[in-house]
Each structure stands twice: as structure tokens, then as C-alpha cells.
Amino acid sequence: MRITSALIDPALLDLPWSVPLAEWPPDKLVALPQGISRHIVRFVRLDGTVYAVKEIGERVADREYDLLRTLERLDFPSVRAVAVVADRESPDGEPLDPALITRHLQFSLPYRALFSHTLRPDTLNRLLDALAVLLVRAHLAGFFWGDCSLSNALFRRDAGAFAAYLVDAETSALRPTLSDGQRNEDLEIARVNIFGEALDLAAGEMLHPSVDPEQVADDVIDRYRGLWHEITYEQVVGRDDRHHLEKRMRRLNELGFDVAEVSMALADGGEAYAVRPKVVDAGYHSRRLLRLTGLDSEENQARQLLNDLDAYRAETDLTDEAQAAHRWLTEVFEPVVRAVPPDMRGKLEPPELFVQVAKHRWWLSEEAGRDVGLARAVESFLGEVLVHRPDEQAVLPSEELTDD
């Protein structure tokens, strides 16, 4: 047996690698929802960490491992590759397929799992928005997915919205840039895959009758095209209308995208500029939060946490941003997280917990007609809301996903 890994959990060595994955004993496995796969996939829990193990050909396994490692370095939202286990043999010397090991994304579920249940319109819209953003981010990075589908994308909470993550990169390729033809090919693959899976769910009576499979597939592509246009279109501004350019930069930041540089050329006989921003990555707010506080969060979570930080800074009259961030972290954020009893800490990840507490505080304050304060909100949220939630660290039940 040969293992390729940048960092491996020694406990992985104790798994029954001489046995085909389909025959692994139940005591080694964790039952988690998963999408459709061309290969056998199993989940295992070792020392509190859940891994996904997929049997696949060696060449494809090595290629997918390298791609996922590259995406991790690019800070792209995807599962993290852990190892490739090759040269496997059964006790009688029969060769077994190599296995690709990835780390399971906590607090996440496949898109297909959510579409298998009743979806409210606003929940569906947030899911489709997140998938469109994932495709835009992939194409901005020069990443051709080649197999976007409801099974190959994960979602997790992001402050009332959802963030999408790539799972499968078997058919993917990473290039410096993608041509319009390559992008359109990837979009058509996504449209056909999403339409097909939605039809499959409908045929199995697992899709709500109000959800139109074709409309779902078309909506993802339409949302993608609208966002791609906003990010890449060339804008003509007058020499004295620079504020329009500044407004566009702010609008892109609000969408969560960073602008690395702006290309400008004279237009209209020298009376105006043709401006095209170069958007290099998403995560504007999450990177700012990480820089200020060290907290790693989703984009919408970061936006709301930063709003709370800015409000704290205004209330305390702290002019130094770094000092304000440190005090907010130690005096506001961390006490909320520490207030959660150990047996309930798997229900929500800390950034989402804080966002939900802040929202609960707003509801309580509206009912009381005054600000009830953070301490009262935390006490109420823990005793009246969080205690009744299931443990999201392993699985997100459908009834919880439709909550605002």
C-alpha cells in the first residue's frame, strides 16, 4: 500500500484498506447524506473528524487530488483533499482500486439532499444564488468544473443565506483563463446536469410539485450571467464622473468580490474613459474579518460580524480599527461563544451562532420596544432556540434548513 498525502491522520492507517470499500464493516462508517456518484463513496469518523473515501482509478485520483490541493491554495470553496491510497491489495493478492480521501465539510449537505424536501421560494432562491456565485468564482479563477450538479455541490449556512462548495473535480481543469466558449460549455453541462437530477427527483416523488426542474436549471444559468455581467462589463464614464466608478467598486465589494486593478482607455473622442475592473476573487468581507480578528467565516457571516464590529467601534469611540477589533473579539464575540454549554457546541459553528444571537436580539428588542441587551439575548437564544436544534455538525435536517 502506498499513501500520498501532505498531512495525514495516523488513524487513517488503521482503516481496512485490504477490503473493497463496498464491503467495509458498518462500525467503521458514518451514515451521512450524499449525492449520486459514479464511484463508491463512504464516510468514516476518526478522532472526531469525518472523512469521505472514494474508490477511483489511480490516474484520476492523483489528478483530482492535485486539483483539490491547488484549489485549497487558491482559497476556493471546495472540499479539502487529504490523501490518495494506492497499490491496495486484497488478502489473496487481488488488486483494489486506489482511494481518494477528502475531509468532510462540517455543517454541510449536498444540494440534492435539500432538493429532496419541500423548499420555500426564498430558500430556493438563496440556494440558486449560492450555486451561481460558486460557478462565477470558478470561472474567474480559470477553473473549468465539467460536472456541476446537485450532487457535486455542497451548501452550508451563511447568515441566512447559503454558501456553495465544490465536491467533485474528476472532470475539471485549471487554466490561466477561460474563453467564453469554455465558460458556455461548462454552463451547458451544469444546466443539463441540474435539469436531469431535478427530473430524477421529481420522478421519485422527492421534489415538491411546485418546483419546475427546467426552471431551476435555467434560473442558475440566468443568475450566473447576471452576476458575470456585473463583474466584467466595460463601463464608460465621463472625465468628471469618477464617482460612478467608485460606486461600481463599492457595489462589487458588496457582492463580495475584490478588485485588483482597473483598466482604462479613452473613449468618446477623449471625453470619457472606458473602464473595466479586474475582479480577482470573492471573499472581500471574510478576508477583512480574518485580517482584523483572525475569525474564519463565510462571506455573509463576515459582513454581519463586521457590521456588529463597526457598531461597537462607534459606541466605544475607538478610532484605531485594530484595537477596536481586538476588544470586540474579547468583549463581545468570545463571551457569546463561551456561553454555549459543551453539549450544544456542535449545533452551530461560532460565526453562525453569533449571527443568529444578534438576529434573536433584534426580535426580542422589537417585541420589548427597547434594546434588551446582548446578555439577555444570549440567555434566551440558548434556552429557547438552540436547545431545540439538532446537531448540525454532522447533518442539517430539512426542517432546519427552511428557517430564516
pLDDT at 389: 78
CA distances from 204 to 116, 197, 200, 329 (A): 9, 11, 6, 48
Alpha carbon distance 239, 268 (integer Å) = 11
Alpha carbon distance 95, 2 (integer Å) = 13
Name the most confidently modeled range: 36-40, 199-203, 242-246, 301-305: 199-203
pLDDT at 42: 93
Taking 60 as the threshold, does the pLDDT of residue 398 lie above it?
A: no
Taking 70 as the threshold, does the pLDDT of residue 158 lie above it?
A: no
Query: Across-strand partners of 83?
Result: 101
pLDDT at 396: 39
Query: pTM value?
Result: 0.67
Strand pairing category for 88-89 and 95-96: antiparallel
Give residue 341's region: left, alpha or beta (phi > 0; psi -120 to 50): beta
What tens digit of pLDDT does each residue of 120-139 get?
Answer: 666 787 788 889 889 988 99
Taking 80 as the threshold, does the pLDDT of residue 105 lie above it?
A: yes
What tens digit of pLDDT does each residue of 234-284 get?
Answer: 777 666 665 666 676 677 766 656 555 455 565 656 666 565 555 445 566
Q: Which of 42, 17, 23, 22 is nearest to 32 (CA)?
A: 42
Task: For residue 214, give the C-alpha cell.
Answer: 427546467
Under DSSP, the state recorded for 187 is H
pLDDT at 322: 82
Taking 70 as the threshold, does the pLDDT of residue 201 lie above it?
A: yes
CB of 62 closer than 8 Å to CB of 4:
yes
Q: Pick the residue with more confidence: 131 or 233?
A: 131
Quick count: other Cβ atoms within 10 Å of Cβ 30? Answer: 16
Taking 60 as the threshold, does the pLDDT of residue 402 lie above it?
A: no
pLDDT at 20: 94
pLDDT at 300: 78
Alpha carbon distance 155, 200 (integer Å) = 20
Give me the sheet containing 108-110, strands edge to edge.
108-110, 153-158, 161-166
Query: Across-strand partners of 257?
Result: 282
Lowest mean pLDDT among 134-138, 150-154, 270-274, 304-308: 270-274
Lowest mean pLDDT among 184-188, 281-285, 343-347: 281-285
Task: For residue 143, give the C-alpha cell.
Answer: 477553473
> If residue 55 lies in a helix (H) or strand (E), which one and from where to where?
strand 49-55
Task: For residue 359, give the C-alpha cell.
Answer: 438576529
- Across the range 294-316, mean pLDDT stands at 83
pLDDT at 306: 87
pLDDT at 159: 54
pLDDT at 315: 81
Q: Pick the residue with more confidence: 327 or 109?
A: 327
- Across the range 323-339, mean pLDDT stands at 91
pLDDT at 401: 40
> If residue 272 lies in a helix (H) or strand (E), which one and from where to where?
strand 272-282
pLDDT at 188: 97
Q: Is 360 exposed, middle or buried (0-12, 13-18, 19+ CB in 10 A)?
A: buried
Task: For residue 1, give the C-alpha cell.
Answer: 500500500
Mean pLDDT score across all residues of the chain: 82
Query: Across-strand partners of 144?
Result: 173
pLDDT at 68: 95
Instruction: Say how many Å lie between the first and final Cα of the chain, rounded.
Output: 48
- Predicted confidence band at 397 (pLDDT cuts at 50, 70, 90)? very low
Task: For residue 365, give the C-alpha cell.
Answer: 428588542
Lowest mean pLDDT among 34-48, 303-317, 318-332, 387-401: 387-401
pLDDT at 345: 83
Name the most confidently modeled range: 62-71, 197-206, 242-251, 316-325: 62-71
Q: Where are the alpha helices (DSSP H) in 233-349?
A: 242-254, 284-293, 299-316, 321-328, 334-338
CB of 211 closer than 8 Å to CB of 119:
yes
